[in-house]
Amino acid sequence: VGNWQFVQVDSKGTGRVFYTAKDKKMAEIADYGFILWDGKSIGSLNNIAELLQLNKPSLVYHSQTKEFFKIKSSADLENILSNIEDDVLASILEKGNTFLKSYVTKQPSLIQE
């Protein structure tokens, strides 16, 4: 596509293993992230967390609310996480990367028992 540089991601895995490797490489290469998020995708949240962990900002478009969120700090990520549904929080604990999980587990008030 155009003059974009092509980067081959070496991953012997498939499915989530491959996509995790690809997403980590994209975050490593990127200066800034733009994420389209449906309010439920753990993959998108993982991408936001990967970029934040590397001190790289991102702009998130939440397709359900039609809002944009700038993510530049931990507080920005916490703001998004404070407004998600319980089933999404449970999915983060199951499928989220370690950095993302740390935001959920340090905020026990977000998890309803």
For residue range 70-105, list pLDDT tens digits in order. 999 999 999 999 888 999 999 999 999 998 998 887
The DSSP secondary-structure symbol of 12 reads S
Across residues 12-32, what is the average pLDDT? 85
For residue range 36-46, list pLDDT tens digits in order. 999 999 999 99
Return left, alpha or beta for 15; rule: phi > 0 is left, psi -120 to 50 is alpha, else beta: left
Domain-wise residue ranges, the chain: 16-110
How does strand 33-37 pair with strand 58-62?
parallel
